[in-house]
Amino acid sequence: MFGDRYELLQRLGAGGMARVYLARDTVLGRTVAIKVLHSELDENEEVRARFLREARIFARLKHPHIVDIYDVVTTPEGAAAMVMEYVEGTDLHRVLSSNPRLVPELAALVIRPLADALHYAHREGVVHRDVKPANVLLGRDGSVKLSDFGIAKASEEDLLTRTGDFLGTPAYIAPEQARGDAIGPAADQYALGVVLFEMVTGKRPFAGPNTLAVLTKIMAGEYPDPRELNAAVDDDLAAIIARTLSLEAADRFPDLGAMVTALERYHITVNADRQRGLIAGLVDDPNGTADVVAGEVANDLITTARRAAAQGDKRNARKSAHAALARKPDLEAAHALLRTLDQPTVDLMPPATGGTTTTSTGTVGAGRRGPVVVGVALALTALIGVGITVLLRTRPPGSTGVPAVAQPAIAEPPPAADQGATARTVGAAPDAAPAPDAAPPPDAAPPDAAAPPDAAPPRVAARPKPARRAPADAPPKPAPKPAPKPEPPPAPVAAATAPGTLAIAAAPWADVYVDGKHRGRTPYLKQLTLPPGAHQLELRNPGFPPHKESVTVKSGETVTRRVRLGSRPR
C-alpha cells in the first residue's frame, strides 16, 4: 500500500529511471499507474530532483493527449513515486514491432494528436526532448497519449544534468541536440518527424551499428527517401517529413501547429467515433486494422481515378490507380482500370449512320465489324485498282471502254503501292500481296496516248517477268558511292572539349535537374559528368522552394555545389 490509499496490483514494466505498477486508488475507486524511482537512483539527489521535477511538469500540463498526473507519494521504503493516469492498451513501439509499416493515412491519425499535444506543451514552455514510439500510448478506448516527460526541460528552469551527460534516445534526437547546442521546440518536431518516417516506412531514417555511427548520420542529414521505401508515400507527405527532418532548425515548420495543419489532409474522412475505433484496432489487431484502412483508402482512390478517366484526364487517373495499388496490390478494380487506360483507341473508320465505331480492339455498336473487315475492304480496293490498270494496259486498239485522257492517272504506280501497304498494316488478306508487283518498274516509261497502237502489246507482254525480278535485281544496278571518311579532329580540339564534373550536395535531399533534364536524387547522386560550358542547375524538394542557379563547368575540372534548401548556396 502506497500513501495509505494505493493498492499495488501488478508490475507493468520498467525503464532506465523507474519501474511502473498497476494499482487501485482505494479512495476514488479507480485504476492508476504508479511510477516508482529505482532504489539505487533514489539515493542520488540529482536524479531524485529530476524525477520530482517531471511530476511538477506533468501536473501543469492538462491536455487530452498528455498522460495526466494525480499525486506524488513515497513508498514504505522512502522512494519517490508518481501516481498517473492508467492507459489500458499498448505503446506505439509494440504496434510497430508487429506491423512495422502503416498506411500513411493511418499514421497521420496517430501523429496529429501527438503534434497537437507537443504544440500545447511548447506554448506552456515545456520541451519534451525524448519523443519516441515507446513514449506514445495507444488506448483500447481509441485514445493517443504522450508520456514520460522524465528529461523534459521547462524554459524557466535550469537543466538538471551534469556537463557531458547525454539525454535522449540517439535515433530520435535532433542534430542540434547531437552537437550539444541549445535546443527548443524544433527538437521535438524533428523527433516526431523521425517517428512518422518510421511509421510509414518500417525503418528509422538514421541507423548504424553504434551510437556514434547514428549521430554521424544525423549531423550529416543523410537518410533514404521515404517514397523509395513505401510507394504509398506521396509527394505531399514526403514534403512534410523532409521539412521536419531539416538539418537546421530554422528550416523546419515554424511550430507544430503548422505541422498539424499540413497533416490534416491525410486524415481519413471519418467521424470521431470511427477515428477512435481505428486507433483502438491498432491495440488488438494492428495488421487487420492497417489492412482495413488500406482497403478504404484504396477504394477512395479508385473512385477518384474513375472520375478522372471519365473526364479524359488519363494522367491523374493512372496516378490515383497506382496509388491505390500501393496500398492494396491485389485490388482488381485498379488493375482493370489501368488495363483500360493502357489500351490505345484509334478510329480506323468513321462512324456509320447506324452508330458503328471501329477501334483497335474491335467494333462498338451495330454490325460488329472488326479490323479484319477494314483490311479486306482496303485489299479489295487495291485489287480493283490493279485490275483497272491491267485492263487499260491490255485494251485492244480503238477500244473506247475508258476515255484515253484517263490513262495516265490510272496507270501511275504510287496509288496502287500505297493501297497495298495500307492493307498489310491492318491485316489484309493474302491475295492482296501481289498488288505492288503489278506496278511498272521504276525505269518503265509511262503509257503515251499518242503512241502507235502496235507499240503497246510488246510492252504489256514483256512486263510481268521484269516486274517480278526488279526488286531482287534492283540493289546491284546502282553503283554504290563510298561514304566520305570523317576526318578525326585534331588532338588539341579533343582536349579542349573534354568533359568536366559537377559535384552536388543538398540538404536534406533534392531531385537534381540539369538543363531541364532530371539526372537523379541526392544523397544517392554524388556527381555528374557534363560538357564544358554554362548549365542550368535546379534542385527540387517538395518541402522547399526550388533552388536554381547557373553553373559553369570547365574541361577536366570539378565544380562543387553545396546547397541547403531554403537558403543561398554555400
The pLDDT tens digits for 153-175 are: 544 343 333 333 445 678 999 99
Which residues partner with 337 through β-bridges? none
Question: Percentage of residues in the chain with pLDDT exceeding 70?
Answer: 68
- Distance (Å, rounded) from C-alpha 209 to C-alpha 186? 27
Residue-level pLDDT at 232: 93
Residue-level pLDDT at 394: 47
- Distance (Å, rounded) from C-alpha 199 to C-alpha 286? 12
Residue-level pLDDT at 93: 94
The pLDDT tens digits for 240-270 are: 999 999 999 999 999 999 999 999 877 666 6
pLDDT of residue 407 exceeding 60: no
pLDDT of residue 555 exceeding 60: yes
- Distance (Å, rounded) from C-alpha 172 to C-alpha 286? 23
The pLDDT tens digits for 99-110 are: 888 999 999 999
Residue-level pLDDT at 470: 47
- Decide: residue 192, CB within 10 A, 0-12 exposed, 13-18 middle, 19+ buried: buried
- Distance (Å, rounded) from C-alpha 265 to C-alpha 236? 9
* CA distance to 461, 466, 468, per residue, from 455 (Å): 11, 18, 22
Pick the catalytic residue from 25, 42, 130, 188: 130
| Known active-site residue 130 | yes
Question: 1 versus 164: which is more confidently predicted?
Answer: 1
Identify whether the C-beta of residue 439 lies closer than 8 Å to the C-beta of residue 415.
no
Residue-level pLDDT at 489: 57
The structure's pTM equals 0.65
| Grid coordinates belonging to 360 | 483497335
Closest CA to 266 of 65, 111, 101: 111
- Across 439-448, average pLDDT: 43
* CA distance to 404, 429, 435, 454, 500, per residue, from 408 (Å): 8, 28, 18, 18, 63
Peptide bond into 523 cis (omega under 30): yes
Mapping DSSP to helix (H, G, I), strand (E, B) and coil, where does residue 22 land? Answer: strand
Give 68-88 as a DSSP string: -EEEEEE-TTS-EEEEEE---
- Residue 49: pLDDT band (50, 70, 90) is confident
Give 414-464 as a DSSP string: HHHHHHHHHHHHTT--GGGTTGGGGSPPTTPPPP-TTS-GGGHHHHHHHSH
- Decide: residue 238, CB within 10 A, 0-12 exposed, 13-18 middle, 19+ buried: buried
219 residue type, one letter:
M
- Across 329-353, average pLDDT: 70
Residue-level pLDDT at 33: 92
Residue-level pLDDT at 240: 94
Mean pLDDT over the full length of the chain: 75
Residue-level pLDDT at 52: 81
Instruction: Report the C-alpha dihedral over residues 361, 363, 364, 366, rounded to 10 degrees.
Output: -170
